[in-house]
Chains A and B, each alone.
Chain A
């Protein structure tokens, strides 16, 4: 079972990240996925998050309890959620927006300049797809193929191709990151 939390601030496509991944897993990767989101007026502008519980069998408890993967796209969300990431868990963070504390080896840290990559593709709105590319490459929780199949209906048709490009860009970067720092798997996730 995997517990994944996507976090950032409103407007970064955090909820969309979990929707795309959840759809990919449950419809194209033959897994059970339950997606929830922190939902409330207090989330606007502050830390916002969406969560996925992924399992080989039906998910019972729908909320994440001790996530093994955290995606943090803002300083606020990093500060809020990093302490709740499991020891040995995977932290993927926005390299230009998050200044993490010194790496003490508690979690496996992967910085990714996803907003910059998205801007290179024409619009920072694609940052969430770059993020999903990195996430897929690094964690292997979801397949690349399933993620691409999940996109239609969840991104506007006219931006489908550029979103796929953004995903590929992130995926390639994720693989490079892995080359530099191989993932230690096991109980971590």
Chain B
């Protein structure tokens, strides 16, 4: 893994007043993404528009595909053609991407997918926020696998976490999701883009040995093999079938165990390095609120009110959604009365919290049907109730 400063060509240094969607596009350009394939869908389209407008000036390519199935397929090709690649979508488009998400996972193809979540199911509420795809990205493609997902709570974090998403994607050769939502995607705030030399970018690990020895895979469960560019004269194969180190189909149970274990272990064994949390006032807390994305900002207000009411309330924001911070939740669950989990869905990540807490403390879901953010009072009531 080689870390360098960002290529200044893609970095729009300075302070800007941007919405989250635009900030994602700027984050991608700063991270060195030069290939974007997508299909427009509210509330994510502004990312595609911005990338399309900006990329000719930085030597990038934007393709509007015929649909989202083709969009993610193009990313697999673009990545093996040598580029850092991304797409952006929302609910219905995300559903279409699920099959080829599996192909990307199986071929260990680095890519970044931004999901600007809107309320579902189906076409639902296209212009209103939700956090209902948290489990879909984790389990939506068939088979056993791992992905990484990050969740921004502001336009600034849309920029920062997009850069981080590309870095993780290159490090682990895995699709990385940015789980934004309509509110964060469309809200405008100040976004500061640092100078290129202050942005750390993970460059692709290119293979440098003799051509005949190249292997696109290594099944160590820790590290990933270097990559090459298709068309540069290397002999290798990419398939969704269970494969050997050269990439050729090898359809045995033993080989499947090697491949699938590797796909899972390369993320699980590095989880401590990957997971980022933002915690406040956890020391001596009776109740801890676990939240992510836009909901965390609503939680900040509720937590303020709870502390004013004399309840020792801690707050944990999941910046990394997947892999899930199970060790930290396990540790906490032995120390607190209750963990409160508000989210704009009918209770998705709360199941992970329950699983990790394993009955050591109460876990309280504060669901929301989608289409708006919580009223802080509702979260406050749950904190008060949980503290009793």
Contact = CB atoms under 8 A, between A and B. Distances in A.
Interface residues of A, number: 21
Contact of B186 (A36, A41, A60): A36
A61 B17 contact: no
Contacts of A61: 297-298, 301, 373, 376
Contacts of A41: 127
Nearest to B125: A40
Interface in A1-36: 18-19, 22-23, 26-27, 32-36
A63 interface: yes
A61 B302 CA distance: 10
B294 interface: yes
Contact of A62 (B16, B43, B294, B304): B294
Contacts of B186: 36-37, 39
Contacts of B16: 27
B155 to A, nearest CB: 9
Given A22-B17, A39-B127, A62 B187 contact: yes
A60 B190 contact: no
Contact of B298 (A36, A60, A150): A60
A35 B188 contact: yes
B333 interface: no
Contact of A35 (B15, B189, B301, B373): B189
A27 B373 CA distance: 27
B242 interface: no
A63 B297 CA distance: 11
A19 B190 contact: no
Contacts of A37: 186
A27 B187 contact: no
B17 A27 contact: yes
A26 B155 CA distance: 13
A23 B19 CA distance: 11
Nearest to A26: B190
B167 interface: no
Give the secondary structure class of A's interface.
mixed
Contact of B17 (A26, A36, A59, A62): A26
Contacts of B183: 36, 62
B300 interface: yes
A37 B301 CA distance: 21
Contacts of B43: 39
Interface string B289-317: 00000100110110010000000000000
A41 B128 CA distance: 12
Most chain A beta-carbon neighbours within 10 Å: one of B16, B17, B128, B294: B17
A98 to B, nearest CB: 27
A32 B190 contact: yes
Contacts of B301: 60-61
Nearest to A150: B17
Contact of B188 (A19, A40, A60, A63): A19
Given A39-B127, A39-B186, A60 B297 contact: yes
Contacts of A40: 127-128
A23 B191 CA distance: 10
Nearest to B304: A60
Given A22-B188, A35-B188, A36-B186, A60 B127 contact: no
B189 A26 contact: yes
A33 B189 contact: yes
Interface string B257-301: 000000000000000000000000000000000000010011011
A62 B128 CA distance: 14
Interface string B16-30: 110000000000000
A32 B148 CA distance: 31
B127 A27 contact: no
B15 A62 contact: no
Most chain B beta-carbon neighbours within 10 Å: one of A36, A41, A62: A62
Contacts of A36: 183, 186-188
A150 B188 CA distance: 14
Contacts of A39: 43, 127, 186
B292 to A, nearest CB: 15
5 A-B pairs with the lowest CB-CB distances in the bound complex, closest first = A23-B17, A26-B190, A35-B188, A40-B127, A60-B300
Given A22-B188, A27-B17, A39-B43, 19 more contacts: A19-B188, A23-B188, A26-B17, A27-B190, A32-B190, A34-B189, A35-B17, A35-B188, A35-B189, A36-B183, A39-B186, A60-B301, A61-B298, A61-B301, A61-B373, A62-B183, A62-B297, A62-B373, A150-B17
